[in-house]
Amino acid sequence: MTNGSTRRRRESVDASELAELRTTYIFGPAEGSTWGLTYEGIEAKLRERETDTFIRIDEGEEGPFRGSVMHFGITVGEEELEGMAKMSSEGIAIEDCTAHAAAGFVKLLWDSVVPDGSIISFNTEWGLDADLPDALVPHVPRPRLVATFLAHLAATGGLD
């Protein structure tokens, strides 16, 4: 899901390179909890922000996904991103995304998608590949949230 980006390991990746790396960010409720989301509720929240956003729900009868999946488009800052949501294994993912855009997406989740006071956990496609456990998203200002995501990417081994 890295949309054609090549992956290679380096001894070190500087901060500016790390900030440009794109991967899939996966967000979900903390283990053992739920956000109580529905596709209809997510669609309503997305359309409040962007009335013309694309939204498609696949029933999951064929292909790599079990169960239904909602695909959507969203603008975060100046970036147009694509994401998906699932109700079984509840969560929302944003694809081909930088740490900065992921931090903006988390703000959207807190502001209008997940219930107030909800805890958000995260991982990335690369984190899953590196067997990193899910981590909690700290409720901190955006620059510190970006730093959290950059530290996670660095912990994956500096993939790009």
Specify if 147 maps to a domain: yes
Q: What is the pLDDT of residue 145?
A: 96
The residue range of the domain holding 117 is 15-155
Specify if 3 maps to a domain: no
Specify if 81 maps to a domain: yes
Residue with tokens 């603008």: 75
Specify if 1 maps to a domain: no
Q: What are phi and psi of 26, to 5 degrees?
A: -115, 125
* Domain count of the fold of the chain: 1
Specify if 4 maps to a domain: no
Specify if 128 maps to a domain: yes
Answer positive or negative: Cα dihedral of 100, 105, 106, 112. positive
Strands 120-124, 135-136: pairing kind: antiparallel
Q: What is the pLDDT of residue 8?
A: 39
Q: What is the pLDDT of residue 41?
A: 93
Residues of the chain with pLDDT under 50: 1-11, 63-65, 160
